A and B are shown apart, each in its own frame.
Chain A
Amino acid sequence: MSRANLQAKLPVMITAVVFLALYLGAGLHFDNFLTLRVFFNQFSTNSFLGIVAVGMTFVILTGGIDLSVGSMIGCTSIMAASLMKFHHVHPLVGLGIPLLFGILIGYTQGVLVAKFSLPPFLVTLAGLFFCRGVALFISQETLNIEDEFFKKSLSEVSFHITDKATVSVPSIIFILVVAVGMFVSLRTPFGRNVFAIGGNRQSAELMGLPVRKTLIGVYTLSGFLGALGGAVFTIFTSSGNATSATGLELDAIAAAVIGGTLLSGGYGSVFGTLLGVGILGVVQTAIAFDGNLNSWWTKIVIGALLMAFMLVQKGIERAATRKVTV
């Protein structure tokens, strides 16, 4: 591996090492932590976070941010639940309409950012308010889904790997999204445009790349993945709640940053984000396993981890620029 290549891979490698250290450390400390059952459960419980974090990675790679994904989950989950419960539509339609809603909101945000040059955090903040408002407007109560097809073929389905370890539908969707996200970011023109815009928007424009179209595409993708996260959340909990996933957008940003994606854009990877989601999941599970630590320690530990990773990134960045200038 060349030196430059090594330097580019360093943040992801550090994340991978930290993930393994945390995972093994927790495994040595707690009984039953290293079982396949706990491992696959991680995929289920973090599936919606992981899905929106993939979308967030694309947005951050262009140098933007999407704060609307958490409330998008709440909005689409309550929408799906109410469609199934009160309007008795087929579950696939009930989960499909919210997906269209997500695409529409994402597209609108993309147009506002790309065409009218409004700041991304402002546009998506308005999106956050809008989605949460729509969600509360639909219903303030938790709606349980009783539909037979929904239960039999989505929420209660699990595939046995061993007799105790199971893989659920949410985790399969999560893994698929990560795989497609990695492919799109690394092997398609769209992915290359995303990196180019994040690296230097002016250069990308001068090269004749479709900057606006790509930006609109990225926000539409994030809106779609937010809605898909909502669908997965609905399947995972078999219910819809308007206030669910409040603040999830920040976990998604944290996952991307911990995974080595630079917030200034142009640099990062979907695989890194997967590791970031893994680290957040291990911290949460370990604190739950301990039982003595209060839940607020999760927040403090995640904050401290986030800070440590940003300092490492800054250190690498400074070392790199020093080499260029000397």
Chain B
Amino acid sequence: MHRFANPNRFLKLANAILPWAAGLTVILTLAGLYYALVASPEDYQQGATVRIMYVHVPAAWMALFVYTAIAVASAVALIWKHPVSDLFAKASAPVGAAFTFIALVTGALWGKPMWGTWWVWDARLTSMLILFFLYLGHMALMNAFDDPQRGYKAAAVLALVGVVNVPIIKFSVDWWNTLHQPASVARMDGPAIDPAMLTPLFLMAFAFKAYYITVALLRMRGEIAEAKVRAISMSQVHG
């Protein structure tokens, strides 16, 4: 891990991964869309609205995954002063926020026809909304200081404090009464979903993951370029 604290060494690795991640994103998305919209059956109870699941559930998984990744990167950045970790957290937050927003909006679009309401203030939905605000707060803190290092530190502390929300989201459907259905894929007794529906679900989940890797690496490349611009400008001012 510390090997890649050197931004130039990291860039080499990023540039090697990028074409593969981008290619995988396109292929998996197209395959996922085909299975989600065409090749999978309608649900016997929910009809065609079950197709919303193929974007809603992977987006919600990504919302939690990206936040957890940011929290781990923040811990690494605070403990070891690992410069690339800070950039990783900064690059990840907008992607995580986008996935959280997608999960919230598609959830409302699925809730209206199935539950009869766009929104309820229950544990799962409210904790997801809090996650969205945590992402926005993280992004705001990152850019709130003239000295980027102070922003990175403040945002890292927020990310670590907010990580308590992650298990709350995950187990909210078990701990409290809610309209939201409990976990049906990650269960001790195996998924409670037909394989014909698991295929588009997993294809889309991997597509989103490849998308996240692609966008995060591109953003980190941009951040490293920005950091070099800052360093050169500083050397000119003080030189």
A binds B: no
